[in-house]
Structure 1
Amino acid sequence: MDVEADFRHDKLRIATGLPLGLPGQWSLVAYRPTQPLHEVAFALCWDQSLIGAAEAQAMKTAVEVRFEAMLDSPSSLSKVPKCVRYKKAELKGRFPLSMNGALPLFEIRDSSMEKLEPAVNLKTHRSWRVTLDFKTTNMAVVTRPQAALAAGAVSSSVTSRSSTDVRLVFPEPNLELWTTKSTLCDASSYFKKFFEAEIVEPTSTPKGKRRKLEGPLLVKAELEPAEADLEDLGFEDADEEIDAIYSEEGQAMADPGDAQYTEITIPATIASYSTYRALLTWLTTSHIDFAPVVVSSKPATASRKDQLKRFRNANPLLPIPVSPKSVYRLASTLNIPLLQSRAIEGYKLELSAEHVA
């Protein structure tokens, strides 16, 4: 990436967006760490980056940053600038561990003030080249941009009646989701047994043909003793406030028309609309975003909901991130072990992020 920058100002702060294809918004920021004009510091900054990483909330990767000065070619026959390597930084580990933050990279000093090699005059020089290489063996990170595109398309489809035959109704927020019997049965042995046992035939109604059921998910799943420690970590579920964000958008239930489908009512005490929407999207795309945890011992704030609203505004097609604990309990109920494991991993990473914060 080639950058034009003027480093002469006392109150320097230049942010350059980085199209990395990773969750959130990434940028390289140049700023003045101290008052003297002969120093400029650089940091890798991110916003809304924690929620959205596939497979794990934080990336286990290495980042190499190269900062070069684009000097004019000494040859009059060539107008191609010469790259002079000035700084290089290598970062290793798992990051980011917060939704928004910055990672200092390095500082450069003006060669007109100190005898440095190669010579770069920060007061007069304007052209720079910055190269960032993200290296990881985690294929979930590599394929995340494509998974996010698929998740956005699927998430939009589950809110409307299309080629679907199951309607999930959430009375309290007055919202609905649509899916197919095959999607539910292929992923969940719980649903497969339920539909196999259900022998009620669809009946005609003025609005179409449907089976209205109160059956699945009304019995709370019992956690296995070895997994019950998720109940004791001191974090609250808050997916109901995410339902409120969807409700504020006016996504009320629509007339399904003259069609045959199975209608299943999901009480708020069993599972939230938000949790189910995230689950349905994951069943098709393997994409799920986890929201920051809420610690019961800390005073409640509006920051979490504000963060989720910001995520929604930045990613209107994706489901709003949900509580990993809520996802775990729903996956346990539906007997989906892979999603249970994903939720546990997300829970641990969120717990680490909370402790770091």
Structure 2
Amino acid sequence: MTEVQQELGREGSSASSTMRETTILYEQRARRMAEEDALRLYNRVRQLQKEEGKAHKRIQETNKRAREIIALRERNERAQLEKEARLRELQQEIEQQKMENTRLREEVIRNRTEQEAKIWAEKEALARQAREERQELERLIADERILSRKEALEQREVVRRAEEEARQKLEQLRISKIQMAQEDYERRLREEMESKLERESEIERLAELEMQLIERLKQKQMRQRKAYQQLEAVLALGSSTRKSSSKPSSPQVPPQASPPPQEPTEEEVARAFSMYDTEASGEISTGCIDGLMRDLGVALAPSQLSQAIAQLDSRQCGKVSFGEFLLWWKG
């Protein structure tokens, strides 16, 4: 029993506590709804107050704008009145200016008429003076033409005499030039003939000298050939004597003598000379004489070389022509 009561008591206490909690929740929800309604009302009141302030402000602005419009209208009316007054004053000034312009125009017309009359009178006077001056000028021109014609005739005569004198002078000058040209031609002809004679005599002298040199060269070659022949005979005789003493029974065969050295021909001399004439000018320097002589088979001692250069370089220019070298070589 006791347990049942306790159980019932526990159930009753739990039910009462549940009801209390439900009541509290309901009250809390009601309070929240009341607070939300109060907040909405507060916001609506504030919104209405703002709208009222805006409406009051618009009313004030409208009143201000109305006052400004009224003031502007009054100013415009005053400006219109002032404008009409200025227009009346301006119209009066224009009328006065028209009257003044009319007076000035009449005065200008009067002055112009007087000025034109004065100018016309001056033009008449100037025209009369111009006619008189033209007549005087025509008279002076006629006199000047007469004088010019006389001077032209006199000048023409002077020019004719001057032309005649100039023609005579030119003729004399032409004759003198012809005479001078003839004399110069004769002089040059004489000089050319004299030069030609001198060259011909020089050519004859050189030809004679060349013949003499050739003859001397032939004589030298003949003497040299005889000397070689004598030398060959002596050599052959000595050789035969030695062979006969050593081998008397063997036949004697004369030894073959070496041919004598031949003197270079003019072509060989010219060929050797051209080897040193690198510029093909027909001349070589005196420093090439030693090498040229060696190429021709002749070795000169220093004293002989100096003497040969002194003989060849007679012009003291340091150059030797082929003709000079050939004459010296043949001599």
TM bucket (normalised to shorter chain) is under 0.3
Larger Rg: 2
Counting strand residues as a fraction of each chain, which structure ranks higher? Answer: 1
Counting helix residues as a fraction of each chain, which structure ranks higher? Answer: 2
> Which structure's relative contact order is higher, taking Cα pairs within 8 Å and 6+ residues apart?
1
TM norm structure 1: 0.18
